[in-house]
Chains A and B, each alone.
Chain A
């Protein structure tokens, strides 16, 4: 080994031993001086590094806190969504209780399960059957109005068709009894397929948009006065001797969870008084809307009229 190299190596060893001894000295320092040295290093040399470390640690805790806060927020949202569904179901059940009080007798309450499979979209499986007194061709209703008709009856369950079913027909009449017709599923595409169609209405008896339509009681299945829906607009068809109207149903089958099945005796008795307040309220709203439209038209007409030149023109 060359002499210079050996000298360098010795110097390296000396430096290393010095560092080791210094480190050992720091290790065995009493608490006071040790803290003073550490504090001096932290304060002078490591100030920025300590700040960076503290900020990184705070960022990490913020991230962790953010995750836990998100979990809390998600569970709160999930609970509130459940609460909305429970509240809506509670309202529906209250309405059904109100319907039961109004009907008084001749009905069977049942839970309804909407068919989801192909071919079952327009049927309801009801949790009441022959044992509970359900018979075929009974009207199925909710507090909002007509749902459909019982088609098959088993001992403890029954199957009902709902108004979108292609076989659904009900003889209908306007609330004032001036316009008669037959209501069936509209069978359109898109959003229109969730609407009904009132056809065969005589030309002499036009209907306004928003007019309530109720069952006429003809046919023996549906009692008179069952609320079906409200008129949306007239359907224009080329060659026809009668008017047709698009009707928005008051009941959405997808939302039906509980229903009442009316017995034939109850249907024969009539239920006009049960849905009449709701139908009258709809009619009142239609009239109010028509009045406000007429008033707005009058105002617009008077605003657009030329000003009276006699004495009103400024000099």
Chain B
């Protein structure tokens, strides 16, 4: 990424992080929007897998620091999702809206799955309810909001290819 686009990407990520820590607690939905996953996926498809893993790890640490009971779980989940998203970007790096929505949906679902398994707090029926009810709902909401975010930020991050 060029410098201007790097700065733009940093600004977008910062905004999404701020939204995650302001709008999300304000809404306080049971199946809330995960702005960090949206931000991480937007960055991940535009950088190399190693950088995506690093960004994911850093964003995961932010989440972990706020809930130290499962310190490291979010970092692990974000790292894996970021790395995987960056690896798969060839498949998903398209202008198709539905494909982007599926990409965010799956990203959030995988993040929740890894996070829940890594933190080990939930078990039995609680884990099942979380994985099969609340996680899909949260992923759906995140995908819808993610599409809106992408529609806004895509023109700014669009890469102009030299002739």
B22 contact set on A, CB distance < 8 A: 52-53, 55-56
Partner of A23, one of B28, B57, B65, B86: B57
Report yes or no: A26 in contact with B71, Cβ–Cβ below 8 A. Answer: yes
Per DSSP, chain A at the interface is helix
Q: How far is the CA of A49 from the CA of B18 in the complex (A)?
A: 7
Tell me the minimal C-beta distance from B110 to chain A in angstroms. 14
Chain B 9-42 per-residue mask, 1 if CB under 8 angstroms from chain A, else 0: 0000000011001111111100000000000000
Q: How far is the CB of B54 from chain A (nearest CB, A)?
A: 6
Query: Do A16 and B75 form a contact, CB below 8 Å, given A22-B57, A26-B64?
Result: no
A34-B71, A60-B26 as given contacts; A20 in contact with B50, CB under 8 Å? no
A285 close to chain B: CB less than 8 A:
no
- Given A20-B79, A22-B57, verify A13-B65 contact (CB < 8 Å): no
Taken together as a complex, chains A and B put the C-alpha atoms of A232 and B65 apart, in Å, by 80
> In the complex where A12-B50, A20-B79, A29-B72 touch, is A46 in contact with B26 (Cβ < 8 A)?
no
A42 within 8 A of B: yes
B71 touches A16 (CB 8 A): no
Given A15-B53, A59-B26, do A23 and B60 touch, yes or no (CB 8 Å)?
A: yes
Q: Which residues in B have their C-beta under 8 angstroms from that of A52? A: 18, 21-22
Is B155 in the interface zone, CB < 8 Å from A?
Answer: no
| B146 contacts chain A at the CB level, 8 A cutoff | no
A8 to chain B minimum Cβ distance, whole angstroms, is 7
Question: Which residues of chain A come closer than 8 Å to B80, judged between CB atoms?
Answer: 16, 20
Cβ of B118 < 8 Å from any Cβ of A? yes
A27 touches B73 (CB 8 A): yes
Task: Tell me whether B162 is interfacial, beta carbon within 8 Å.
Answer: no
Asked if B116 is an interface residue, CB under 8 A from chain A, the answer is no
Chain A positions 51 through 71: 1 when the CB is less than 8 Å from some CB of chain B, otherwise 0 = 011011101100000000000
Does any Cβ of B come within 8 Å of A19's Cβ? yes
A76 within 8 A of B: no
**B118 contacts A27, C-beta separation under 8 Å:** yes
Which chain B positions have C-beta within 8 A of A8?
Answer: 48
Establish whether residues A53 and B65, one from each chain, have CB atoms under 8 Å apart when the complex forms: no
Residues from chain B with a CB closer than 8 A to the CB of A34 are 68, 71-72
Shortest C-beta distance, B80 to chain A (Å), equals 7
Taking a contact as CB atoms under 8 Å apart, the answer to whether B72 and A23 are in contact is yes
Decide if B49 is an interface residue (CB 8 Å cutoff). yes
Most buried by B among A14, A28, A35, A56: A56
> Is the pair A16, B72 in contact by a Cβ cutoff of 8 Å?
no
Rounded to whole Å, the gap between the CB of A59 and the closest CB of chain B is 6
Q: Which residues of A contact B27 (CB under 8 A)?
A: 60
Contacts of A38 in B (CB 8 A): 64-65, 68, 71
Q: Does B76 have its Cβ within 8 Å of any Cβ on chain A?
A: yes
Q: Residues of A contacting B79 with CB < 8 Å?
A: 16, 19-20, 23
A17–chain B nearest beta-carbon distance, Å: 9
Question: Which residues of A107-163 have CB atoms within 8 Å of chain B's CB atoms?
Answer: none
- How far is it, in angstroms, between the C-alpha of A164 and the C-alpha of B9 when the chains are bound? 79
In the bound assembly, the distance between CA atoms of A39 and B80 in angstroms comes to: 24
Given the interface pairs A38-B68, A52-B22, the reply to whether A15 lies near B54 with Cβ below 8 Å is: yes
Question: A296 interface residue, CB < 8 Å from B?
Answer: no
Q: Are B26 and A56 in contact (CB under 8 A)?
A: yes
Q: Are B25 and A56 in contact (CB under 8 A)?
A: yes
Whether a CB of chain B sits under 8 angstroms from the CB of A290 is no
Closest to B118 in A: A27
Contact, CB under 8 Å: A19 / B66 = no
Let me know if A24 is at the binding interface, CB within 8 A. yes
Q: Is the beta-carbon distance between A49 and B17 smaller than 8 angstroms?
A: yes
Which residues 56-92 of A have a CB within 8 angstroms of B? 56-57, 59-60
Sort A-B residue pairs by CB-CB distance and give the 10 closest, nearest first.
Answer: A26-B72, A12-B50, A15-B50, A27-B72, A23-B76, A16-B53, A38-B68, A23-B75, A12-B49, A41-B65
Query: Which residues of B are interface residues toward A (Cβ below 8 A)?
Result: 17-18, 21-28, 48-51, 53-54, 56-57, 60-62, 64-66, 68, 70-73, 75-76, 79-80, 83, 86, 118
Given contacts A41-B65, A49-B21, A60-B27, 18 further A-B contacts (CB under 8 A): A11-B50, A12-B48, A12-B86, A13-B49, A15-B50, A16-B49, A23-B60, A23-B73, A23-B79, A27-B70, A27-B118, A34-B72, A37-B71, A38-B68, A42-B65, A49-B18, A56-B22, A56-B25
